[in-house]
């Protein structure tokens, strides 16, 4: 059973502030994309790594040169970018894990959980149960409480049998927030596996500080 990982790094990340896209900005001596790639390159069950970057970034060469990966140009949407990465893998592996380059702190345990779940089903993804109270707001005021039972915060990597997720992309090519949504539209059952609060997605400037703290505490990386 061959497993590949597609690291999606084609977004602009505007909420993270001005400057470079967030996946290339300095983080603990490297970048978010580097740590995301490293987590899969170091995993003993991952056979191949694909990094999907924006066509605009080909001229800059900002992506990490290590670990080794196939570099692919993304499309106009997240779905198009993921599909570009999947097409490179078609016929070369059995399963694929799709991960955001803006999630640098993914752990071996989270990856293991997705791989294990793929033994019994076509798709799996990590998530964290919602524990905070939820409100629906209107005009800046609380309009109603929203039940949180059965609600989860979705994470990546999202794992699939390769042939099935490629077929799902061809059937439902656009308009999905992530690959789990697209897979469900195609009729695939998606198992929920344990996520982690440390597996944050860098979105706003403050997230760089938190991610650096997690990486330094876990892996001993030095900053500066």
Q: 141-154, pLDDT tens digit by residue?
A: 999 999 999 999 99
- CATH pick for 3-219 out of 3.90.1150.10, 3.90.550.10, 3.40.228.10, 1.20.120.1750: 3.90.550.10
- On whether the CB atoms of residues 51 and 40 are closer than 8 A, the answer is no
Average pLDDT of the segment spanning 82-94: 96
Average pLDDT of the segment spanning 91-120: 97
The string of DSSP letters for 57-108 reads GTTTT-S---S--EEEE--SSHHHHHHHHHHHHTTT-SEEEEEETT-TT--H
pLDDT above 80 (res 16) = no
Q: What is the pLDDT of residue 114?
A: 98
pLDDT above 80 (res 195) = yes
Q: To which H or E segment does residue 208 belong? A: helix 206-219
Residue 107 CB coordination number (10 Å): 16
Question: For 130, what's the count of Cα atoms within 13 Å in the CB-facing half-sphere?
Answer: 13
pLDDT above 90 (res 111) = yes
pLDDT band at 176 (very low <50, low <70, confident <90, very high): confident
Query: pTM for this one?
Result: 0.93
pLDDT band at 224 (very low <50, low <70, confident <90, very high): very low
Q: 6-15, 35-44, 168-177: lowest mean pLDDT where?
A: 6-15
pLDDT above 80 (res 222) = no
pLDDT band at 17 (very low <50, low <70, confident <90, very high): low
């Amino acid at each position: 059973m061959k497993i590949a990982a597609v690291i999606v790094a084609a977004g602009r990340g505007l909420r993270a502030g001005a400057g470079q896209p967030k996946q290339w900005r300095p983080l603990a001596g490297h970048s978010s994309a580097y740590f995301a790639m490293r987590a899969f390159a170091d995993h003993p069950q991952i056979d191949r790594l694909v990094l999907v970057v924006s066509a605009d970034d080909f001229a800059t060469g900002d992506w990490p040169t290590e670990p080794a990966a196939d570099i692919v140009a993304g499309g106009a949407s997240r779905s198009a970018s993921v599909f570009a990465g999947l097409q490179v893998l078609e016929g070369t592996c059995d399963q694929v894990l799709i991960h955001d380059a803006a999630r640098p702190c993914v752990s071996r345990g989270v990856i293991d959980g997705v791989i294990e779940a793929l033994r019994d089903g076509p798709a799996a993804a990590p998530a964290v149960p919602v524990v905070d109270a939820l409100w629906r707001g209107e005009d800046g005021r609380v309009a109603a409480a929203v039940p949180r039972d059965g609600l989860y915060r979705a994470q990546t990597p999202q794992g699939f049998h390769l042939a099935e997720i490629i077929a799902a992309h061809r059937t439902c090519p656009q308009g999905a927030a992530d690959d789990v949504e697209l897979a469900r539209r195609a009729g695939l059952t998606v198992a929920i596996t344990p996520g982690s609060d440390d597996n944050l997605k860098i979105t706003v400037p403050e997230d760089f500080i938190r991610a650096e703290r997690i990486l330094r505490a876990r892996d001993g990386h030095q900053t500066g």
